[in-house]
Structure 1
Amino acid sequence: MLIPSLPSKGFREAFIDALNVWLALPDSSLQTIKLISQKLHTCSLMLDDIEDSSPLRRGKPATHTVFGPASTINSANWILIDVMGDVQELQTPQCMDIVIEELRNLFVGQSFDLYWTQQGECPTEEEYLEMVSQKTGGLFNLLARLMKQCTQSLHLRAISLDFVSLLGQYFQIRDDYMNLIDDVYTEGKGFCEDLDEGKFSFPIVHAWHCTPPDLVMRGIIREGKASGSLSVPHKKMILSHLHEAGSMEYTLQAMKKLQIRINNDLEHVEKEAGCENWVMRLLVHKLFV
Structure 2
Amino acid sequence: MATPSFSCRELVARAPVRLFPPQARQSLRTRSCQVGFKNQSWAVMEFYENFISKVQSAPTWPDDSERILVEPYTYLASVPGKEVRSALMDAFNAWIQVPAEDLAVVKKLVGMLHTASLLMDDVEDDSHLRRGMPVAHKIYGIPQTINSANYVYFLAYQELQRIKPRPGVSKVEEMVTEELLNLHRGQGMDLFWRENLICPTEPEYIDMVNNKTGGLFRIAIKLMMAASTEDPPRDYVPLANLIGIIFQIRDDYVNLQSAQYAHNKGYCEDLSEGKFSFPIVHAIRSDTSNRQLLNILRERPSSPSPKAYAVHYMMDRTKSFAYTRQVLSSLMTQAREEVHRLGGNQFVDTILDQLVVKEEVDPATQLGLSAAVSGEKAGD
With the length of structure 1 as denominator, give the TM-score of the two structures: 0.93
5+ residue gaps, structure 2, are: 1-71, 358-380
Q: Does 1:278 align with 2:354?
A: no
Query: What is the distance in 1 between the residues matched to 2:134 and 2:236?
Result: 40
Query: What is the distance in 2 between the residues matched to 1:178 and 1:159?
Result: 30
Partner of 1:207: 283
Q: Does 1:136 align with 2:136?
A: no
Query: What is the distance in 2 between the residues matched to 1:31 and 1:58?
Result: 24
Query: What is the distance in 2 between the residues matched to 1:71 and 1:159?
Result: 40
Q: Which has the larger radius of gyration?
A: 2
Contact 1:192 1:235 in 2 (8 A): yes
User: Relative to 1, partners in 2 of residues 1:267 and 1:183: Cα closer, same or farther, differing over 3 Å?
Assistant: same
Structure whose residues are more often helix by fraction: 1
Question: What residue identity is the alignment partner of 1:115?
Answer: F
Q: Does 1:52 align with 2:120?
A: no
Partner of 1:44, secondary structure, is helix
Which deviations, in whole Å up to 9, do the C-alpha atoms of 1:112-158 show, x marking residues without a partner?
00000011101000000000000011100111111111102223x23
Deviation at 1:10, TM superposition (A): 1.2
Partner of 2:286, secondary structure, is coil
Partner of 1:273: none
Q: Does 1:27 align with 2:100?
A: yes
Question: What residue identity is the alignment partner of 1:106?
Answer: L
Contact 1:207 1:214 in 2 (8 A): no
Partner of 1:154, secondary structure, is coil
Contact 1:217 1:238 in 2 (8 A): yes
Which deviations, in whole Å up to 9, do the C-alpha atoms of 1:168-213 show, x marking residues without a partner?
1110000000001101111111100110000000011011111353
Which deviations, in whole Å up to 9, do the C-alpha atoms of 1:90-117 show, x marking residues without a partner?
1445211110111000000000000000
Q: Does 1:74 align with 2:142?
A: no
Query: What is the distance in 2 between the residues matched to 1:19 and 1:248?
Result: 30
Query: What is the distance in 1 between the residues matched to 2:203 and 2:173?
Result: 30
Partner of 1:54, secondary structure, is coil
Partner of 1:194: 270
Deviation at 1:14, TM superposition (A): 0.5
Query: What is the distance in 1 between the residues matched to 2:178 and 2:245?
Result: 19
Query: What is the distance in 2 between the residues matched to 1:26 and 1:160?
Result: 17
Query: What is the distance in 1 between the residues matched to 2:140 and 2:294?
Result: 35
Identify which range, 110-119 or 82-91, moves more after superposition: 82-91
**Identity between Structure 1 and Structure 2 (%):** 38
Question: What residue identity is the alignment partner of 1:122?
Answer: C
Deviation at 1:160, TM superposition (A): 4.2
Deviation at 1:231, TM superposition (A): 2.0
Query: What is the distance in 2 between the residues matched to 1:197 and 1:256?
Result: 27
Partner of 2:11: none
Identify which range, 172-181 or 213-222, moves more after superposition: 213-222
Q: Does 1:239 align with 2:315?
A: no
Query: What is the distance in 2 between the residues matched to 1:211 and 1:62?
Result: 35
Query: What is the distance in 1 between the residues matched to 2:253 and 2:213?
Result: 15
Question: What residue identity is the alignment partner of 1:118?
Answer: E
Query: What is the distance in 1 between the residues matched to 2:340 and 2:218?
Result: 19
Contact 2:102 2:164 in 1 (8 A): no
Contact 1:161 1:269 in 2 (8 A): no
Partner of 1:89, secondary structure, is coil
Query: What is the distance in 2 between the residues matched to 1:9 and 1:283?
Result: 12
Query: What is the distance in 2 between the residues matched to 1:14 and 1:248?
Result: 27
Query: What is the distance in 2 between the residues matched to 1:37 and 1:212?
Result: 40
Q: Does 1:253 align with 2:330?
A: no
Partner of 1:151, secondary structure, is coil
5+ residue gaps, structure 1, are: 271-275
Partner of 2:230: 153
Query: What is the distance in 2 between the residues matched to 1:72 and 1:216?
Result: 35
Query: What is the distance in 1 between the residues matched to 2:160 and 2:205?
Result: 30
Query: What is the distance in 1 between the residues matched to 2:106 and 2:90?
Result: 11
Contact 1:94 1:149 in 2 (8 A): no
Partner of 2:355: 287
Partner of 2:198: 121
Contact 2:256 2:311 in 1 (8 A): yes
- Aligned residue runs from structure 1 range 78-89, under 5 A: 78-89=151-162
Q: Does 1:269 align with 2:342?
A: yes
Partner of 2:378: none
Q: Does 1:94 align with 2:181?
A: no
Query: What is the distance in 1 between the residues matched to 2:76 and 2:265?
Result: 14
Q: Does 1:4 align with 2:80?
A: no
Partner of 1:209, secondary structure, is helix
